[in-house]
Chains A and B, each alone.
Chain A
Amino acid sequence: MTHVSGRQLSAALAAIAVLATACTGGGGSTKDVAGSYATPPKQTGTPKDGGTATVALTPGLSPNYIYPYPPASANGTVIARGLMWRSLYRPSGAGDQIIDAELSLAEQPSYSPDRKTVTIRMRDYTWSNGTPVTADDVVFSFALLKAALAESPANWSFYTPGQFPDGVSAEATAPDTLTLRLETAYNPSYLLSMLTLLYVMPSKEWNIARPGGPHLDYTQPKHAKAIYKYLTKESESQSTFASNPLWQVVNGPYRLKSFDSTTGSFSLVPNESYKGPGDSRLDQIDFKAFTSAAAVLNQFKAGNLTVGTLDSSFITQIGALKAKGYNVYGAPAPARFDSLTINFKNTAGNFDKIIAQAYVRQALQRLIDQQGYIASRGIYNGAGSPNYSTAGNGSPYPPAFGDKAPFPYDPAAAEKLLTDNGWKVVPNGSTTCERPGTGPGECGAGIPRGQTISFTLASANTPAYVGARDVAFASAAKKLGIDVKIVTKALNYMYANYGNTFAPATTNEWAMQDFGPLYLAAGYPSSNTVFNTEGSFNLGSYHNAEVDKSIDASTFGADAKALSTEVTRLAEDLPVLFLPTPHTLVVWKDTLSGPQSSFNALLSFLYTPELWYFHD
């Protein structure tokens, strides 16, 4: 009997689906690689009022929180960070500046000679309800940040116990004057970069611990704690984000109109009371959530997006996007570095003992062919820049070695490092420790005879270049007899589970991880909190007393060169393995325009739609 069964039909449909999927890609070709993207288009056209801009959110990072300081347990991504509640100082989108002075809520701070008293004069901004943004609001924000940290140091990833905001008292010496008194003087640039992270919240409307409750004195820690608990609890109710009157009191250029808790997409409308620069000509900004970069590209190609960013995997699409009426600009984001984060506490296979040896880290770094990764059509396809430091490309605080890599790609040198230190290298086999011990030419403390080098590298499943570069690294390691087991994980899973500071239970699940980029503060890329021993974002528990001293010097000292010293020392000690920086592509419709700087800032995911406008 011959017949077509349901299964055969399914198989045929699957075939059609595969072919159809393949056909929908289309568009670009490898010839488009030559498409230029290095120069940002100039501001053009006569501004028109109105219109809705549709902005693509970073794939996989849909917002789920509205209060500006989500607790670590919420694993929160904040909606429209900086657009509804401005920080005291707006971070600059340019790599050589710390703040965007024009968009900040306050004038530049002035310091006493001992740098322990900082006076900040507020600018003439108002809340959406018409009341002025005052120094009291900043004091309130300080109090709530401290309340969050009292709950858990992990509640703010920029925190190092004993440092800002610890030992900082804020006082409103006048409605428009804030005075910070510091127990320890900070480097002014560092302090300024921390103040870019201080989101100013409405003290008069939010100083309650229950709906309709009394207004509390937030300078008392117990009241601040109660307020913090109430606000974070309210922020858990995603369905009321747009309707809760609390969240409608904003000082930024926009307020929330709607939020889709299923997808994380949301819409903003102008805050009519906003007094800052920009005409807020657009009627509405729709932020769309995506789960993949390919979906973003498809929406661009369909003409459904006005603005967004794409990673370097889409370099071949520049021609197709331009043909569709989009501007494309690309560059390495300021203060961005990509790396394989090392877990110094992973004890599986004695990894902690092995990776504690500087020569092992140097050998592994020498297996990373940065130029090869950049040139490879399978990884960066030319859209990347070499990087060997935490300061990133074009930093005002470059490492002392400049562009010259301290540990350039050299597998032979990597092999020599291992053999010189007591290892028997077996290419494509198992390299083992032959000379245990702590003396010269021996493997190092805690590494027994016969020890192999085998570890797990958790690799984010997006963007595409992450997996490709990790496989390239694992392949190079295999040639040296080092077994790198790649496990692919979702980005959100990695964010929630792979960090010794907030997820110690999973320490032995990852020896290295590649979650893509890490962004330090552009303009002052200090790695305080990231690589100092006590830092709350020290994911891999890196510890080096000398580096701690360097970080202290750049954090507290006045020497402008201290940060370069820190950057150099870190690059030479390898708390992570450095990878080249992929270029970020900023894409926007050619009917939309605004200052070049506002599109340049998108490299750092800083949105300033109040400066944008549609034109003919």
Chain B
Amino acid sequence: MTSHAVDAEITTARNPVSALRRLRRHPLGLAGGLLLLLIAGFCFLGPLLHPTNQTDVDLLNAALPPGPGHPLGTDTNGFDVLGRLMAGGQVSLQIGLLAALFATTIGTVYGAVAGLAGGVVDGFLMRLVDVMLSIPFLFFVLILSARFHANTLSLSLVIGGFSWLLSARLVRGEVLTLRVREFVLAARVMGASRRRIILTHLIPNALGVIIVNITFQVADAILVVAALGFLGFGTTYPTADWGSQLASGVTYISADYWWLIYPVGGCIVLTVLALNLLADALRDAVGRRAD
């Protein structure tokens, strides 16, 4: 295959219309996307249909099983579980998105610079990534959490601050293949600056990989938030996130308060599944393997 043919294939694959057309032919991906829309609607629009008080503890109505007025029961503070799922979902999705955007932005720029610069700069930047990847994430976060308090922004920054490493590797790999293409060489010959080459040629052409990566990053971040919440280092009252809710529910597992476990566990699983299905479909649609 000639380089022209490869460029043509890349261009076709990266054409948004073409990619969307391919995505429509991916039933699992469509299902994932639809499910994600439903979950987002549930979290952000649900409170309009099912308004609940998620700040005032109701001691007398704590840990009620599902019944009239509380379709999924109440938790140990008397908060309506259905409403808490919506509130927790908002936080979890926000953290997931923020962390993914943060990670992808840093990772993309970092990887593009390393890939384009090559040589010693590339070697140094990527060894730095290797070093950071060797730091055990959970251990680091547990140490941080001993001194600092978790909130939506800090959790997003910490998770994003660790997740950009993989994005950087992926984008660097993509840039290594793109930088020898004719359109990049042409831009160089025409005197385009490195900044211009990165921003107008390399990153837009690596967009497929980046979008797929964002989707996976959101899923990963939601799982990390769940894990941190489960370990007791998630958000605290009055904020809720799914991980903290699950942790609280599991604490009462012996009391058979099943409604504190299954619904939130299901939400985490479905969201991550939806994101992964969508990411897989996107990856296929853009025609390149992100990994």
Q: Which residues of A contact B (CB under 8 A)?
A: 1-3, 5, 7-8, 11-12, 14-15, 18-19, 21-22, 24-30, 294, 297, 313-314, 316-317, 369, 372-373, 375-379, 381, 428, 456, 459, 461, 464, 467-468, 471-472, 474-476, 478-479, 485-490, 493
Contacts and interface: CB of A to CB of B under 8 A. Distances in A.
A456 B147 CA distance: 13
Interface in B245-280: 246, 248, 250-256, 258, 261-262, 265-266, 268-269, 272-273, 276-277, 279-280
B253 A25 contact: yes
Given A27-B256, A378-B75, A478-B238, A11 B56 contact: no
23 contacts: A1-B284, A3-B280, A7-B219, A8-B273, A12-B273, A14-B272, A15-B266, A21-B250, A24-B253, A25-B256, A29-B256, A30-B256, A294-B250, A294-B251, A317-B255, A376-B78, A377-B76, A378-B59, A468-B77, A474-B238, A478-B56, A487-B236, A493-B146
A451 to B, nearest CB: 22
Interface in B28-64: 28, 55-57, 59-60, 62-64
A357 to B, nearest CB: 25
B253 A21 contact: yes
Contact of A487 (B149, B238, B255): B149
Given A461-B232, A479-B56, A316 B254 contact: yes
B102 interface: no
Contacts of A11: 219, 269, 272-273, 276
A575 B64 CA distance: 35
A375 B58 CA distance: 12
B216 interface: yes
A377 B62 contact: yes
Contacts of B252: 313, 464
Contacts of A294: 250-251, 253-254
A35 to B, nearest CB: 13
Contact of B280 (A5, A378, A428): A5
Most chain B CB neighbours (cut-off 10 Å) among A11, A19, A373, A474: A11
B13 to A, nearest CB: 13
B55 A28 contact: no
A15 B77 contact: no
Given A471-B77, A475-B237, A464 B57 contact: no
A28 B254 contact: yes
Given A25-B256, A475-B237, A379 B76 contact: yes
B33 to A, nearest CB: 15
Nearest to B65: A30
B255 A15 contact: no
A25 B262 contact: no
Contact of B59 (A22, A28, A472): A472
Secondary structure call for the B interface: helix
Given A18-B268, A468-B76, A478-B55, A486 B261 contact: no
A464 B277 CA distance: 36
A5 B236 CA distance: 34
B269 A15 contact: yes
B276 A5 contact: yes
A474 B262 contact: no
A3 B60 CA distance: 49
Contacts of B28: 2
B110 interface: no
Given A5-B280, A12-B273, A316-B254, A376 B56 contact: no
B277 A28 contact: no
A517 B54 CA distance: 29
Nearest to B57: A475
B71 interface: no
A25 B273 contact: no
Contacts of B246: 18
Contact of A28 (B56, B60, B255): B255
B261 A471 contact: no
B118 interface: no
A313 B251 contact: yes
A313 B255 contact: yes
B26 interface: yes
Contacts of B123: none
B59 A373 contact: yes
Size class of the B contact interface (CB-based, 8 Å): 35 or more
Given A7-B276, A316-B254, A475 B77 contact: yes
Contacts of B232: 461, 488, 490
Interface in B220-257: 223, 232-233, 236-238, 246, 248, 250-256
B265 A19 contact: yes
Nearest to B28: A2
A-B residue pairs, 8 tightest by C-beta? A378-B76, A378-B62, A25-B253, A18-B265, A475-B57, A377-B63, A15-B269, A372-B59
A459 B284 CA distance: 47
Most chain A CB neighbours (cut-off 10 Å) among B60, B252, B273: B252
Most chain A CB neighbours (cut-off 10 Å) among B219, B255, B272: B255
A26 B256 contact: yes
Interface string B1-31: 0000000000000000000000000111000
Contacts of B268: 14, 18
Contacts of A375: 59-60
A22 B216 CA distance: 27
Nearest to B26: A2
Nearest to B27: A2
A339 B284 CA distance: 58
Contacts of A487: 149, 236
A325 B255 CA distance: 19
Nearest to A16: B269
Given A464-B248, A475-B56, A490-B232, 10 more contacts: A7-B219, A7-B280, A18-B265, A22-B258, A22-B265, A313-B252, A377-B63, A378-B78, A379-B59, A471-B57
A456 B236 CA distance: 12
A50 B232 CA distance: 42
Given A22-B253, A317-B254, A376-B59, A474 B237 contact: yes
A210 to B, nearest CB: 37
Most chain B CB neighbours (cut-off 10 Å) among A28, A297, A468: A468
A21 B59 contact: no
Nearest to A31: B256
Contacts of A485: 149, 236
Contacts of A27: 254, 256
Contact of A7 (B149, B237, B279, B284): B279
Contacts of A2: 26-28
Contacts of A461: 232
Contact of A30 (B216, B255, B272): B255
Given A1-B284, A7-B216, A379-B76, A22 B255 contact: no
Nearest to A461: B232
Interface in B119-145: none
B67 to A, nearest CB: 13
Interface in B64-104: 64, 75-78
Contacts of A3: 280
Nearest to A475: B57
Nearest to A18: B265
A15 B246 CA distance: 13
Contact of A21 (B62, B219, B261): B261
Given A15-B265, A18-B268, A22-B262, A8 B55 contact: no
Contacts of A1: 26, 284
Contacts of B56: 475, 478-479
Contacts of A28: 254-256
Contacts of A18: 246, 261-262, 265-266, 268-269
